[in-house]
Amino acid sequence: MQKSFQRKIQELQKKQHAVILAHNYQNPEIQDIADFIGDSLDLSLKAIKTDANVIIFCGVDFMAESAKILNPEKTVILPDKTANCPMAGMVDAESLGWLKKEHPDAEVVAYINTTADVKALADICCTSANGVKIVKSRTAKKIIFVPDRNLGLYIQKQVPEKEMILWPGVCRTHHDIQKEDLLALQKEHPSAEILVHPECQPEIIDLADFVFSTNGMVTHAKESSKKEFIIGTEKGLCYRLEKEIPEKKFYPIPSAVCPNMKKTTLEKVLKSLETLEPKIHLSEEIMQKAHLPLQRMMET
Ligand code: 13P
Ligand code: SF4
């Protein structure tokens, strides 16, 4: 069954001149058919570089929207239109507008996990891979950072010279990882190195050996002399790690699941290639305004 889906997807992909991009948290069968797998930054870069007419984005809404903003002339499809990032929904343009008015001397750094109309109000975007570099690069002393408070706290610690105003958003998948989860795995696997995502709470970050974006974890695990790793992020990343580095061991946090990332199925990918729906639609005005902060991030 799975094989026949895969074959049909490949055939239609050629016919439609489509590229399949998949985030590191996608289900194994989606990672297996993807042309590229990556983190938010890497997939945005792949979206810019592709010469395909159609981008099938296996991820969540803000990722597909970013691909559309960066490639307005291309057809960008999110195979399940309900696959959203709840954290991106925690900040809205109107409330951010009010906060900007209260702090006219601040620059706004928007995590890429935001809606297009929030990006449109930002000076620059960032991802978990480049957040520290992006905040350091700004000339303003005061930075409004939206929406992830945990990532903001992590950046603030690395860049103490800035005064960061943090929005109270969180990613539940990462925020709910508990100290006890890590300590239990560490007890079972005492030689394992602990890698965590910066969306985790500060006490989790304090326990970690390293803090990385999801692609950062893959690169580190490949280059490290260590053989075992506790992976403090959504557990789907472990499929990619095990596939690309079969000689090493990876221990996921069993409860760390992002349900929206799991909504993409082979059936939905096939249907989206047949119908070229559901497309990402954004207004011209919002796309133009949101392009600048994404472009600035790419150039920093
Ligand atoms: P990465 O960019 O590190 O893959 O993170 C994306 C995300 O949504 C984390 O939850
Ligand atoms: Fe959003 Fe968290 Fe899911 Fe990432 S893991 S897409 S931040 S809800």
DSSP-assigned states of every residue in 63-124: HHHHHHHH-TTSEEE-SSTT---TTGGG--HHHHHHHHHH-TTPEEEEESSS-HHHHTT-SE
Cα Rg of the chain (Å, integer)? 19
pLDDT over threshold 80, residue 220: yes
Does the CB atom of residue 24 touch ligand 1 within 6 A? yes
**Distance between CA atoms of residues 73 and 207, nearest Å:** 45
Q: Residue with the nearest Cα to atom 6 of ligand 2?
A: 85
Task: Express as a percent the part of the chain with pLDDT over 90.
Answer: 98
Does the CB atom of residue 199 touch ligand 1 within 6 A? yes
Please report which confidence band the pLDDT of residue 1 belongs to, taking 50, 70 and 90 as the band edges: low
Does the CB atom of residue 170 touch ligand 2 within 6 A? no
Write out the E strands in 227-297: 228-232, 249-252
**Distance between CA atoms of residues 130 and 198, nearest Å:** 11
Does the CB atom of residue 241 touch ligand 2 within 6 A? no
Q: Which of 5, 7, 9, 46 is nearest to 273 (CA)?
A: 9
What tokens does 126 get?
A: 């960032």
Structure confidence by residue, pLDDT tens digits, 65-115: 999 999 999 999 999 999 999 999 999 999 999 999 999 999 999 999 999
User: Is the full-model pTM beyond 0.85?
Assistant: yes
Provide the edge-to-edge strand list for the sheet that holds 18-23: 36-38, 18-23, 54-58, 75-77
